[in-house]
Structure 1
Amino acid sequence: MPLVLRKGPAVAAVLLLLVAAIAVPLENPRPERVLCVTDDVQARAVAGLANFSAWLRRNHATGFIGEIGWPSDKDAAQWSGVAEAWYEAADAIGLPVTAWAAGAWPANYPMAVYRPVAQGLQVDVAGPQARIVERHGSTPGYLRGVNLAAGSFGSSDANGGFGTGNPGRYGQDYTYETPSSYAFVAGRGVRLVRLAVNWERLQPRPFGPLDAAELGRVRQALEHARQADLSVIIDLHNYGDYALGGGDEGPPRMLRLGDAELPTTALADFWRRMSRATDDPSVIGLGLLNEPTRLAADGRAGALIWERAAQEAVDAIRANGDRRAILVSGYIPMGPPSWGQMHPHAWIDDPAGRVAYESHAYFDHDGSGHYWMSYDDELRSVTWPPPAHCQRLTPVARQVLTTG
C-alpha cells in the first residue's frame, strides 16, 4: 500500500486561519496532513515524530533532527520503508534534518549515506540511503543534509586510551574530510552539514584556551564548506563526559558534566571561546552537546544538570553578540517517541529567539541505532496497543534553520 497524504483541516478552521493571517502574518501557513503507513514499525516511527512536533507546538518552540539513521545490510528494504515514511512525516511537519552519516566510514559500516569508494579520506560514493535523503532535501522553508562525523573518530568510545594527553593523530585517527568531499555532497543536493568536533581536542584543559592547531583544522573545514556553498552546524560531539589525561600520563580520568572538576560552567566557557573563534559565514548553528547522556547524575537530576548547563551555554554565546541558531539536545530519553519525558516544558530563555530543540531518530525498538534485532522481531516488539497507522501531522510554526 502506498503512503497516503490527505489534507485537513475543516472549512471553519481554514476561515479562522485566513482571519488570523490578516491580523498577524503566519510564518508557516501550510495545512495539517494525515500520513498513513503500512506496518507497526513505520507507525511507531511516525507517531514518535508526531509526539515531538506536538511538544514543540505546546511550547511554542522549534525543532531539529540532528541524526536519523537506518541500516543498508540486513532487512534493508523494510528499514528503507520506515525511513521513507519517516521523511514523509518530517516533510509534513517542516523539520530540518541531518542524516547519519557521511565521512570516511569503512566499507562495512551499514549506515553510511556517503563514503569513500575505497578505504581513504575522500568521500565520493553514495550509499543506498542517499536515494531517500536526496528525495527529501531542502526546501525554501527548511534545510536538510548529513552529518560529517569523522572529526569525532578515535575518541573514548573506540579508544580506551583517548584523552587530552592522547587526542589522536590527525589524518589517521580522525579527519575533517577533503575539499572534494564537501564538493561531492553538495553536488548530491546536500545543503546543510552537521560537523562533528571534539571537546578534548579543541580545549585540552577545562576553562583553558582553545588548541590553536585543532582550531585551525576546524576553520579550514569551514572554509571547504563555504567554498562548496554548504551551511554548517558545529556539533560538539561529546556526551557530557570529558577524558582528562591518557597517553604517557596513564589511563584518562573521566570527568562528568556537573562534577566539581567539570561544573556546568565549563561547557559555557567552551562555547564562549568557540563562538568567538568560529565567526565564519558558513556557520549558521552551534550544537551545544551531541547527546548529554553521561552527566554527574541520572534521571531527573541529570536532566536538571543539563537544563542548567544548556542555559549557561546559551547565555555565554549571546553575551558575545552571537545571534546564530543554537541547537539544544534533550537529556535521555531524547528520541522523538520519548521526547518530553524528562523535559515537560521548554526551558531555554534565549533573548534572540533562535533556539531549536534537537532530537535524534533511530527506528529500532530502543532507539539506539544498533539494529540488533531482525525486522520481524522489531514488529513483535511494538508495544500493545500499537500506534495508529494514520497520524495527523501539524507543521511547525517557525524555523531557525532555513535557506533564507
Structure 2
Amino acid sequence: MRKSAALLAVGVLIVAALAVPLQNPRPERVLCVDDDVKARAVAGLANFSAWLRRNHATGFIGEIGWPSDKDAAQWSGVAEAWYEAADAVGLPVTAWAAGTWPANYPMAVYRPVAHGLQVDVAGPQARIVENHGSTPGYLRGVNLAAGSFAASDSNGGFGTGNPGHYGQDYTYETPSSYTFLAGRGVRLVRLAVNWERLQPRPFGPLDQAELARVRAALRHAREAGLAVIIDLHNYGDYALGGGPQGPPRMLRLGEFRLPTTALADFWRRMSTAVDNPAVIGLGLLNEPTRLAADGRAGALIWERAAQEAVDAIRANGDRRAILVSGYVPMGPPSWGEMHPTAWIRDPVHRVAYESHAYFDHDGSGHYWMTYADELRSVTWPPPAHCQRLTPLARQVLTT
C-alpha cells in the first residue's frame, strides 16, 4: 500500500477508535489487587467507566503519570494494575509525558539523552506504557508537553507580552523524536499548545508564526504515522500582558473580560487552521481549574463554555473527535461529582469526556508522600480489592 493511502487508512481507524467505544467488547472482567492504593486506583477507573456507561458516553484518559524515583517499584505496580483495568474497559490513554524534560524530572516516559531537543531515551515508565499499547479497539500513546513550557502555571512573568523564546523556553519535538516514538509503539500523541501564544488577543487573529510551528509539528507526526490530539494546555485563565510593562493581568474564563465565547472563538479559528489529517482530536481545555467561580458554579461555567466551543467547531463542518475535560476535581475517582450527567450535545456524536489519572492521595501528581503514607491515607472503608470491569458498550460508528 502506498504511504499516503496507508496513512489515510490509519487515520480512519484512529478516528473510529478514539471517538467510540469498543466495537466488539470483551466479557466483563474481575480484577483483583493486593493493596489499598492499587484498589483506590482501579476503583477510580471503574467509577469513571460506570459514569460513561450510564450516560451512553465515550471517554479518554488524557494523562496518567507516576514517578520513577522514590518508591518507584510500588508506583509501577499501581500503574500496571491501572493499565490492566483500562485494557479491560477499552479506554484510549496518553501517558504523562514525553519531551525535553530535565534529567531530574521523575515522570518522563521518554526524554532526550542529554540536554538537546531530540527525544530518544525511554524512561522506566515506558515498559508499562508499551506493554499496554494500542489495539484495533483503542489508541494509546503519550503527551508531548514542551509546547506548554514557560507558561503562567510555571512562570509568573509569562503572558501575551512575554510569550517566551521558541527553542529556549518552549519547543515542539523534532522529526526524529516522532520517528523514535513511533518505533517504540506509540500511536497517539497529545500535543500541548498554549492559548496566549496562538491567540495573543482574545477574539483576535491567530499568531501566524506560532501556528506555523504547530503545523510543522503536525507534519512531523504525520510523516511518522502518528495521530495527534491538539491539547489547549491552559487551565481556564489567560495571561494578558507581561514583559517589560510588569506582570500580566490574569483573566478568568467566564468573567466579563474573558467570556466563555472567547474559547469558542479560539476553536472556531483553530479548527480550520489545523486541517492536517494527523489531527484526529481537539482537546478543548486542559484541566479547567481557574474559572470565574468555584465548585458547581464553576462547573456550570465550564459546561457552557465547552458546549459553545463544540458548537463553533461543528459550525465549521469539522467532524473530528472533541475531547471535553471535566471541571476539577476531574480524576477518575471523583468523576461525576461536578457533572452528574453528560452535558454535551454533539450532532456528529464524536465527543469523548476526558479524565486525568494520578495515583497519589489528592490526584495532583506531585507524589509528595511515601508509598507507606499513601497506604495509610486511604479513607475508611477502603475500596474493594476486586473490581468488576465492564467494557464500553457498542455504539454506532460514523466516519
Q: Is contact 2:63–2:356 with CA below 8 Å preserved after alignment?
A: yes
1:5-24 equivalent positions in 2, closer than 5 A: none
2:338 is matched with 342
Q: Which residue of 189, 209, 220 corresponds with 1:224?
A: 220
Q: Which residue of 194, 211, 217 corresponds with 1:215?
A: 211
SS at match of 2:221: helix
1:398 positional shift: 4.5
2:262 is matched with 266
2:16 is matched with none
Q: Is contact 2:23–2:137 with CA below 8 Å preserved after alignment?
A: no
Distance 1:82 1:401, change over 3 A: farther
1:70-81 equivalent positions in 2, closer than 5 A: 70-81=66-77
1:378 is matched with 374
1:102 is matched with 98
Distance 1:401 1:120, change over 3 A: farther
1:251 positional shift: 1.1
Q: Which whole-Å CA distance do the structure 1 matches of 2:244 and 2:73 have between them?
A: 48
Q: Which whole-Å CA distance do the structure 1 matches of 2:382 and 2:210 have between them?
A: 48
Q: Which residue of 221, 238, 241 corresponds with 2:237?
A: 241
Code of the residue aligned with 2:309 in structure 1: it is: A
User: 1:75-102 CA distances to partner (integer Å, 9 max, x unpaired)?
Assistant: 0000000000000000000000000000
User: 1:113-143 CA distances to partner (integer Å, 9 max, x unpaired)?
Assistant: 0000111211000000000000000000000
Give the count of matched residue pairs. Answer: 378
1:333 positional shift: 0.6
Code of the residue aligned with 1:223 in structure 2: it is: R
Q: Which residue of 349, 356, 360 corresponds with 2:356?
A: 360
2:158 is matched with 162
1:400 positional shift: 10
SS at match of 1:124: strand
Matched, 1:152 2:148: yes
Q: Which whole-Å CA distance do the structure 2 matches of 1:52 and 1:29 have between them?
A: 17
Distance 1:248 1:400, change over 3 A: farther
Q: Which whole-Å CA distance do the structure 2 matches of 1:212 and 1:46 have between them?
A: 44
Q: Which whole-Å CA distance do the structure 2 matches of 1:381 and 1:321 have between them?
A: 49
Q: Which whole-Å CA distance do the structure 2 matches of 1:200 and 1:173 have between them?
A: 14
Code of the residue aligned with 1:373 in structure 2: it is: M
Distance 1:186 1:399, change over 3 A: farther
Q: Which residue of 281, 288, 296 corresponds with 1:285?
A: 281
2:176 is matched with 180
SS at match of 2:305: helix
1:159 positional shift: 1.1
Q: Which whole-Å CA distance do the structure 1 matches of 2:312 and 2:282 have between them?
A: 12
TM-score, structure 2 normalization: 0.93
1:286-365 equivalent positions in 2, closer than 5 A: 286-365=282-361
1:122 is matched with 118
2:46 is matched with 50
Q: Is contact 2:25–2:394 with CA below 8 Å preserved after alignment?
A: no
2:89 is matched with 93
1:29 positional shift: 3.2
Q: Which whole-Å CA distance do the structure 1 matches of 2:116 and 2:259 have between them?
A: 39
Q: Is contact 2:30–2:387 with CA below 8 Å preserved after alignment?
A: yes
Q: Which whole-Å CA distance do the structure 2 matches of 1:42 and 1:145 have between them?
A: 22
Matched, 1:257 2:253: yes
User: 1:312-371 CA distances to partner (integer Å, 9 max, x unpaired)?
Assistant: 000000000000000000001100000000100000000000000000000000000000
What is the root-mean-square deviation in Å for CA atoms of aligned residues? 1.4
1:28 positional shift: 3.1
Q: Is contact 1:52–1:336 with CA below 8 Å preserved after alignment?
A: yes
User: 1:192-228 CA distances to partner (integer Å, 9 max, x unpaired)?
Assistant: 0000000000000000000000000000000000000
2:12 is matched with none
Q: Which whole-Å CA distance do the structure 1 matches of 2:388 and 2:294 have between them?
A: 34
Q: Is contact 1:325–1:400 with CA below 8 Å preserved after alignment?
A: no
Distance 1:151 1:320, change over 3 A: same
SS at match of 2:119: coil
Q: Which residue of 200, 205, 221 corresponds with 1:204?
A: 200
Shift >2 Å, 4+ stretches: 26-29, 398-402
1:54 positional shift: 0.2
Q: Which whole-Å CA distance do the structure 1 matches of 2:114 and 2:396 have between them?
A: 37
SS at match of 2:137: coil
TM-score, structure 1 normalization: 0.92
SS at match of 1:238: coil
Q: Is contact 2:92–2:140 with CA below 8 Å preserved after alignment?
A: yes
1:22-37 equivalent positions in 2, closer than 5 A: 27-37=23-33
Identity %: 90
1:63 is matched with 59
Q: Which whole-Å CA distance do the structure 2 matches of 1:401 and 1:98 have between them?
A: 22
Distance 1:401 1:42, change over 3 A: farther
